[in-house]
Amino acid sequence: MPLVCLTDYEEYAKEHLSKATWDYYAAGADECCTRDDNLLAYKRIRLRPRILRDVSVSDTRTTVQGTEISFPVGIAPTAFHCLAWHEGEVATARATEALNTCYITSTYATCSVEEIVAAAPNGYRWFQLYVYRDRKLSEQMVHRVEALGYKALVLTVDVPYTGKRRNDIRNQFKLPPHLKVKNFDGVFQVTANVLCDLQNMTSSYKSPEAYGIPANTLDPSISWKDIYWLQSITRLPIIIKGILTKEDAELAVEHGVQGIIVSNHGGRQLDGGPASIDALPEIVDTVQGRIEVYVDGGIRTGSDVLKALALGAKCVFIGRPAVWGLAYKGEEGVREVLQILNDEFRLSMALSGCRNVAEINRNLIQFSKL
């Protein structure tokens, strides 16, 4: 049976990955309410199609940070691709290069940034950055990726501590010995994924505080002033990932960042927060076009992409579906997942009366309770 939609790839991955690996990728925090609502929220949104619009020719191209991409779907930063396919992030990079879209490389990649650039030298890439207690680690990473031609920094701001992912704790999840967080190879001479008590918290459970690097490495004291610090060490655009409120969106604009990714970390951090797509409209309304706004979390079909753009997103990013594609057939599987979304998006545009991305707007949307 051919795989014809992203759900087919999900089912394949669930059947063929080990339980611990599947649980790691599928994990949400606590009761997984936010993870699940990321999907349900799209189903609550209805489209208002226009007819007789001559959609014989359509164009899915758009731009992000001034660079043209073939369609408004990129790859979100997701860790440990080598768990799903032996080539890992190298395969993901080749797939996104082939389809001419944006790949946000994770700090926690199992291939180094140098290996990724060598594999797909013409790819359009951003780099996801965390701020560590040892600021020199973050600064060194910034300089590495800037020198390698990465085009933006995606500062992930919703992980002062790692969310409680119950199955990872039950499974005592850790990277197998042959895999490493390659961007920190040799920096931390420790066994990957030490299970430890979260410091400075009153929780009684144990959790992998920082997957693949020593516990308590991330800096929970990070604040808005660190945006200025980051701007002082790089000329790359800074995009903040993890904003869910209009108040923080306004602060992001005031601090001079170039973009926002509306994100709840795939429901892996704070359980009970809003679905990303539900948070998107107030952020778009607050930003008023001053900077670009993107969204991730819960995108599974081309019509989901259309809905996100109609609500004001410039581009969407997919996380878990890229991993499912990897698990199926490596680079080819990721290409297939992206191509399915591209084809479905183009079809949804046409059936809604949109000939190009510029014609997609909020008039296309109505909200309906299931």
Per-residue model confidence (pLDDT) at position 188: 60
Per-residue model confidence (pLDDT) at position 231: 98
Query: Mapping DSSP to helix (H, G, I), strand (E, B) and coil, where does residue 235 land?
Result: coil
**pLDDT tens digits for range 217-235:** 899 999 999 999 999 999 9
Q: How far apart are the first and last CA of the chain?
A: 32
pTM above 0.85, yes or no: yes
Neighbours of 150 (CB within 10 A): 23
Domains of the chain in start order, with CATH, are 6-44+59-186+210-350 (3.20.20.70)
- From CA 30, how far away is CA 43, in angstroms rounded? 23
Catalytic residue selected from 81, 178, 255, 265: 265
- Any idea how long the chain is? 370
Per-residue model confidence (pLDDT) at position 132: 93
Neighbours of 360 (CB within 10 A): 26
**Percent of the chain whose predicted confidence (pLDDT) is above 70:** 92
Question: Has residue 59 got a pLDDT over 90?
Answer: yes
Read off the pLDDT of each residue in 78-84 and give the average, rounded to a whole number: 97
Binding-site residues for glyoxylate sit at: 24, 165, 263, 265, 268
Read off the pLDDT of each residue in 118-142 and give the average, rounded to a whole number: 96
**Rg over CA atoms, the chain:** 20
Binding-site residues for FMN sit at: 77-79, 106, 128, 130, 156, 241, 296-300, 319-320
* Annotation marks residue 265 as catalytic: yes
**pLDDT tens digits for range 132-150:** 999 999 999 999 999 999 9
Question: Has residue 202 got a pLDDT over 80?
Answer: no
Per-residue model confidence (pLDDT) at position 368: 61
Per-residue model confidence (pLDDT) at position 192: 36
**pLDDT tens digits for range 241-282:** 999 999 999 999 999 999 999 999 999 999 999 999 999 999
Least-confidence region, from 190-194, 327-331, 347-351: 190-194
